[in-house]
Amino acid sequence: VSLNPPIPPPKKTAVFGPMLGRAVNGKCDEIQHESPPDAILDRVQFLINNVTMSNVEQKAQELREMLDSQYFGWLGHYLVVKRISTQPNFHSVYLAFLEQLGDYGKGLIEAILSSVYFNVGKLLRSPKITTSTSERSLLKNLGSWLGQITLARNRPILQITLDCKELLFQGYETGMLIAVTPFVAKILEGAKNSIVFRPPNPWLMGLLSVFRALYGVDDLKMNIKFEVEVLCKNLGVKLEDIPLRTEDLAKRLPPFKIRNPDFNTKSSQQPVPGPGQNAPGPPTMVESQEGKDAGITLPRMAIPGAALPVGSPSSSVASVQDQQQTVIPNLASYVTINPSLNLLFQQLAAAGGSGNINNAMLKRNVPVAVDRAIREIIQPVVERSVTIACGTTKEIVTKDFAMESDENKMRKSAQLMVANLAGSLALVTCREPLRTSVSSHLRQLLVSNACGANNSGSNETPNPQLSDQERSVIDQCVSSCAQDNLELGCMLIEKAATEKAVRDMDEALAEALSTRKKHREQTGTPFYDMSIFGNGNQRYPSALPEPLRPKPGGLRSEQLLVYEAFQRIPRHPNVGASQQLSSGITPESGAGGIGSGSNTGVSGKSGAKINIEALSSIAMKLNNAVTALLGAAGPRASEVTLRMLPPDHEVKQLLLASEQVTSSAVSNGVLSSSETDSILGFAQGIFKRLYELRLSEPLRLEAFVALLESLNKCCRQLGQDLGTWATYAPTETDSQRKLHCTVLLLLLRSDLLQVHELDDYLCKSIDNGTNRVWLEFTLSFMRTAILDKNVNPQKMPKVLNTLTKIGKGHSMANQIFQLLHLIQDMGEPTGSTNQNQEDVVTNMGGLNALVSKQDRPTHQQSSSISVASLTNLAEATKRASEAIGAISRDDPQGFKRQVTLLLDGWMRMSNEIVPVEKTLKYVQLLQQNEIGKNEEQTERFFRMCTEIVVAAVLKNATPSGTNSKPAERKVLNYTVIDSYGKLLSLLVKHMNSGGSNEVVATERVSLLNKILGITVRTMMAHYEHSKMESKGMPLNWDQRPWFRLLLVLVLDLNAPSALLDPISYGILSVFGSALHVVQPLVIPGFAFAWLELISHRMFLSNLLLLKGQKGWALAHQLLIDLFLFLEPHLRKTELTDAMRHLYKGTLRVLLVLLHDFPSFLAGYHLSFCNVIPENCVQLRNLVLSAFPRGMVLPDPFTPNLKIDLLPEISKSPAILSNVAGPLNAIRNDLDNYLKNRQPEGFIDGLLPRLFKDDTKEIDAPRVNALVLYVGMQAIVNQQNSQISHSLAHTAEMEILKKLMELNDGGRYITLNAVANQLRYPSSHTHYYSCVMLFLFSEAKDEGVREQVTRVLLERLIVHRPHPWGLLITFIELIKNQRYQFWSHPFTRCATEIEKVFESVARSCMAPGSQRSTSLGGDVSQQQPAIS
């Protein structure tokens, strides 16, 4: 018997790697792939960069044409490394792109898979995978892609390549679950779209059972469990339904949980140094271990001699000091800790919490966390930033200084540029990773210290769990300290990057600098670096424009300023700033700020319906994401709103995550009272934060209101409490009231405020008009809310009633009246019931009494057409509805069913690929049933078809989102309408009853006329029906189906076609007539679609390009229809959003016409100006700036320009408008007077004959026509005489001088009529320019001169274009000494007016020019232009 004790078997140790498959074991070696030529490489990269869902088919075809399959290895590697691993939001785009490649792309998919496996293995073997969030993010993205390209396509992941189950087990043993779990979970998410890999697939269920077993492991971190929960939700599997098999996990080595990133444990279990092991003193090294090889040196802190605190050599303190080692010296002296956190520690102690979480513990651990975070991320950040900055700087500096002899200039410029670029790039790259890393390290340190202190001196097995309140305090400390010390860490990383960049730049340019120095010392001649020109394939600098190319002598001083501008002001850590703003913690709010609820215990309970901790985390991330976005926006941060962000933006994704959290709470049942209190406390913290923000950051306001909107879905009590909270908002200062107004508008837009509560609140605050401050607030709030359509004013009867009562006699009566006008313009009251309805009617009655005709013109009075005509147009839909109703009563029984069956057959046929002959047979079948031939049958069939397809489209509409306005909530599927439009097009194209070509053409145009007539009548009836349902305001009528149907017909029937080209004029005429019938004055709700149709390239362009200008009259009529609708609205000072957009659209249409068809605008300028309001100066200038194509306008600023010698001055312009039409009543007398000045009383009786019928209001179109008609007659009569000697004594001038006797309004209309003829060089422009100057010089009243100046000036101070004749006339007026323009008192009546005149004069007069433009001869003789 041996006395030696048995040798124990060797202890098994967990190893990560064996049996995980070729990917992880390193057997998927990286292959050096052959790269395509540079030209193709650039094109491919550009193609990949621009691929989107809308162009994948086109880009796939381009790739087939440009890239050979031998380069798939390179492309696959590029896609994985540069795109797929970093852009998870574009995975769907890349997958669709690969689908479009078809068989050609099979090799590319294999190359991508090979590269994915290689990079997965590389990441899993990385020593930093458990500590680096960026590496784990890359791994997670690759897992998501791997699942979508394999499992989602029913393709397995072979165990020999990657054993996912073994990967989970080994991750459990070795502490790598933090990286492995999200990776495998993302792979399995691809199974949700698979047919094969769905439960109960054995492979999938085996992996899910492992996840279920891991989920039940004690102390496993919440984020790992969360990944499991998200996976189950995505797969539609309940966690409890997955079979639990713990025996497999039990066979594995149990993990060592101490300092294991997968588990939450107490630090008392960590090894403690023995008594003889002294704690290390303050370190002196400044080079990080991670950055040794890269040459990265961490910067020393500025204060010499400042050391980190050194503790006593006791074992417990030694352990703490071990954690306190920082590579960066003196870091603790610069770390910032928010003093307000003391309040949290006091509240924790008062609640019976542990006293070990205190300020002293925070001071010990924050420097360590910051130090570790910096060392973790500094190497990749600095390496990347320095590499990019050095490469860029070297290329640019080498080019710019190619001919610079002074090496010192080159060195200094390069150092300034590279330091700026590297520092800025490092700054933007490190901010978010640093924040995350500091938070992670600090949380670990605080939890470890708190748990260790709680169990020190105890022999009991330590309990690693902290109380919920302690965890909440730690979370808030982490958030606050991470934010407050972020600038410090960024500054240190930026400094390290800057210093390394300067060193590397000196090394990179050493040879070039040395060469210049030797050349200067040895030769003394100018230096030329010809190497940059040596490579014939090099694009630059030969492709640069001349000013940017290197020139002998080097850079000039002004060019060197570009490099000196890189000089940076040193950044300093923002110590102590914005701690309360960032963390949401204030002395008043305590733990109730953003990131904490008033009852934090709810978030920690297992089985709680609402996760406050998750919402708190989302709120902090949301704040950080908004900060980053606004920082990137720079000076335009105030323009960024939530609506601008794409759906995949981080801010939108965080808001979506908050909705998912609240939605899950709703699905779990009714919340308890404690959970409700927790949500209200959390929401109150967010609400308080709203009033700490700035109006210059609307995005942050919108984001937090959206967060409140998510909370309101699971806690309806919030919507009631918000109204109460709003009444206590700070409103002492003007800025606070502006912020309060914005917050109320946002809450109202999100339906978080009860309108009746807001009505009470504002009514009480106004105090019957005695509180002027709140009256101004209410007026501003109501105006904005009404214009933005956030509130129906009729739902605020108390405010309306109060404003109506105090309107007359109040000091703010004008502002009150403006608001009441606006309310009246928004429409009559709708939808009120019972007592509310009576209140609304009463208030509207008082409003109408206040807003009388004497105060302002009505909508009808603002229009150029009569009230009878307006009424006739407005009632057209009613007449169409009555006619359709009468006809539909005679429909045969079962007719709708028959039509539905016919349409259904056509839809199936059009959705399939069928021969053309089969579709033509269907068309012939319809023709055999008298469709297109029998008037009654055709009318009935097309009307029924139109009603059916429109109803089908509207019925199948789907909601587009929860935050959309009511009119935008539905997404329509136009497949049915598109098919029906195709059927109509075929019927027109193949309509043929026999006979000659002319007969067939007439039949086709006639059929199209019937189709469009029936379509527009049905639309009008549909609109009228909607209007009747909503009591006069068709708010729910959707114009989109009708627009789509008409657009399909416009596109199909106006496309080039051998069948339809001979009848193109007839087709366009029918379309134009149909659009004239449904003009905006008839169907206002169709206005936007109507404008899109009349301006479509397939309609308007084709119409105006018809030979002989056949289509010009029709296009003119449609534009007149548009202007008549806009006219009353444009006369108002404030436009609604809808009218503002319609006006912008009109401007764009006119710009297109001005560019492509200027002769059209010039020919009809008179009729267009008749319906353009006087206040729309720019719109009128667009029309008047048009001149015939081919004409070259002389420069109006040319010195001594003799206009009367221009060849165009003798030619009269083409006038296509009906000039004499408005003058029918006075035409005979006018002609007689112009011929022989008879009858004698014509002049004296002229002015009353220019008024509108039975009124004393000037008829502007009649005056416009009179001024043009008189001028045309004068030019004809005096064609061979000198105008300058006979102008003043002609009959035409007598009439124009008589018009100056009108009142101010009439005279203003007359002068505008004269100015409307100051256009391109022609006899008209010359004549009316002389008339305008004559009226200025000969006027006896100074008011006339002032009005002449006003008419000219107001057309010049708006944006371009400016009519040529207008510029010529104004330049002559201000430069010719005969008119003594600057001596008139109205040019000096006010400083502001004087500045305007001087500004316009400077822009109109050539610098240094003393000569004037002459209208009638040489100005050097100082002869008057007009006598």
- Would you state the pLDDT for residue 429? 86
3-state helix, strand, coil in the chain (%, to 5): 65, 0, 35
Out of 201-215, 841-855, 965-979, give the one with best mean pLDDT.
201-215
Higher local confidence (pLDDT), 849 or 1221: 1221
Q: Predicted confidence band at 571 (pLDDT cuts at 50, 70, 90)?
A: very low
Euclidean distance between CA atoms 500 and 244, whole angstroms: 55
- Would you state the pLDDT for residue 128? 86
Whether the pLDDT of residue 515 is over 90: the answer is no
Average of per-residue pLDDT across 306-325? 35
- Would you state the pLDDT for residue 321? 39
Closest CA to 1119 of 1161, 1181, 1058: 1161
- Would you state the pLDDT for residue 266? 45
576 three-state secondary structure:
coil
Out of 400-409, 505-514, 985-994, 1013-1022, give the one with best mean pLDDT.
1013-1022
- Would you state the pLDDT for residue 456? 44
The partner residues of 297 in beta bridges, in order of sequence, read 287
Whether the pLDDT of residue 330 is over 80: the answer is no
Average of per-residue pLDDT across 161-186? 91
- Would you state the pLDDT for residue 1199? 76
Average of per-residue pLDDT across 490-509? 89
Q: Predicted confidence band at 240 (pLDDT cuts at 50, 70, 90)?
A: confident
- pLDDT for 1123-1139, tens place per residue? 999 988 888 767 888 88
Whether the pLDDT of residue 1405 is over 80: the answer is no
- Would you state the pLDDT for residue 1403? 63
Q: What is the mean pLDDT of the chain?
A: 78
Kindly state the tokens that stand for 1006: 């006639």
Q: Predicted confidence band at 1280 (pLDDT cuts at 50, 70, 90)?
A: low
- Would you state the pLDDT for residue 1028? 84
Euclidean distance between CA atoms 950 and 978, whole angstroms: 11
Cβ burial 1342-1372 (10 Å sphere, 16+ → b, else e): eebbbbbbebbeebbeeeeebbbbbbbbbbb
Residue 1095 burial by Cβ neighbours in a 10 Å radius (0-12, 13-18, 19+): buried
Average of per-residue pLDDT across 742-767? 84
Average of per-residue pLDDT across 815-823? 72
- pLDDT for 1176-1230, tens place per residue? 998 999 999 999 988 888 888 887 778 878 888 888 999 999 998 888 889 889 9
- pLDDT for 985-1007, tens place per residue? 888 888 777 778 888 888 889 88
**List of residues 6+ apart from 1100 with CB closer than 8 A:** 1094, 1115, 1149
| Terminal-to-terminal C-alpha distance of the chain | 145
Whether the pLDDT of residue 862 is over 70: the answer is no
Cβ burial 122-137 (10 Å sphere, 16+ → b, else e): bbbebebbbbbbbbbb
Kindly state the tokens that stand for 1206: 């221009």
- Would you state the pLDDT for residue 1414? 37
Euclidean distance between CA atoms 1113 and 1298, whole angstroms: 34
DSSP 972-988: ---HHHHHHHHHHHHHH
- Would you state the pLDDT for residue 582? 32
Whether the pLDDT of residue 322 is over 60: the answer is no
**List of residues 6+ apart from 390 with CB closer than 8 A:** 418, 422, 501, 504, 505, 508
Residues, the chain: 1427
Kindly state the tokens that stand for 323: 């954690």
- Would you state the pLDDT for residue 540? 59
Compute CA distances 474 → 134, 350, 448, 469, 470, whole Å: 24, 16, 11, 9, 6
Average of per-residue pLDDT across 470-490? 86
366 three-state secondary structure:
helix
Average of per-residue pLDDT across 3-27? 69
Kindly state the tokens that stand for 373: 């975070």
Euclidean distance between CA atoms 598 and 678, whole angstroms: 6
Euclidean distance between CA atoms 754 and 723, whole angstroms: 7
Residue 478 and residue 443 in contact, taking contact as beta carbons nearer than 8 Å: yes
- Considering the chain, what percentage of its residues have pLDDT values greater than 90? 20
Higher local confidence (pLDDT), 1395 or 426: 426
- pLDDT for 69-91, tens place per residue? 888 999 999 999 989 998 888 89
Compute CA distances 1028 → 121, 1023, 1024, 1025, 1037, whole Å: 68, 9, 6, 5, 11
Euclidean distance between CA atoms 920 and 906, whole angstroms: 11
- Would you state the pLDDT for residue 602? 40
Kindly state the tokens that stand for 316: 């417990």
263 three-state secondary structure:
strand
- Would you state the pLDDT for residue 546? 65
Q: Going by DSSP bridges, is the β-strand pair 958-959/970-971 parallel, antiparallel, or unpaired?
A: antiparallel
- pLDDT for 265-300, tens place per residue? 643 333 333 333 333 333 333 444 444 444 555 554
Euclidean distance between CA atoms 1290 and 1278, whole angstroms: 10
The partner residues of 1251 in beta bridges, in order of sequence, read 1258
Out of 32-41, 556-565, 1014-1023, give the one with best mean pLDDT.
1014-1023
DSSP 42-72: HHHHHHHHH--TTTHHHHHHHHHHH--GGGH
Q: How many other CB atoms are there within 10 angstroms of residue 812's CB atom?
A: 16
287 three-state secondary structure:
strand
Out of 25-29, 377-381, 570-574, 633-637, give the one with best mean pLDDT.
377-381
Average of per-residue pLDDT across 15-40? 79
Higher local confidence (pLDDT), 1384 or 929: 1384
Whether the pLDDT of residue 241 is over 60: the answer is yes
The partner residues of 970 in beta bridges, in order of sequence, read 959
Q: Predicted confidence band at 136 (pLDDT cuts at 50, 70, 90)?
A: confident
Residue 607 and residue 504 in contact, taking contact as beta carbons nearer than 8 Å: no
Residue 517 and residue 407 in contact, taking contact as beta carbons nearer than 8 Å: yes
Whether the pLDDT of residue 1282 is over 70: the answer is no
Segments in 1030-1111 forming alpha helices (H): 1040-1054, 1064-1077, 1087-1094, 1102-1104
Q: How many other CB atoms are there within 10 angstroms of residue 1132's CB atom?
A: 18
Kindly state the tokens that stand for 933: 């031939």
Residue 1004 Rama label (left phi>0; alpha psi -120 to 50; beta): alpha
Instruction: Give residue 952's Cα distance to chain centre.
Output: 32
Whether the pLDDT of residue 1363 is over 90: the answer is yes
Euclidean distance between CA atoms 904 and 1237, whole angstroms: 75
Euclidean distance between CA atoms 286 and 1117, whole angstroms: 81
Closest CA to 664 of 607, 707, 717, 719: 607
Higher local confidence (pLDDT), 179 or 544: 179
Q: How many other CB atoms are there within 10 angstroms of residue 179's CB atom?
A: 24
Kindly state the tokens that stand for 857: 């013109």
- Would you state the pLDDT for residue 1286? 61
Q: Which run of H or E residues covers position 970?
A: strand 970-971
- pLDDT for 646-703, tens place per residue? 877 888 888 888 888 887 776 666 677 777 778 888 888 888 888 888 888 888 888 8
1096 three-state secondary structure:
coil
- Would you state the pLDDT for residue 1116? 93
Average of per-residue pLDDT across 1062-1089? 92
Q: Predicted confidence band at 1 (pLDDT cuts at 50, 70, 90)?
A: very low
Euclidean distance between CA atoms 977 and 989, whole angstroms: 18
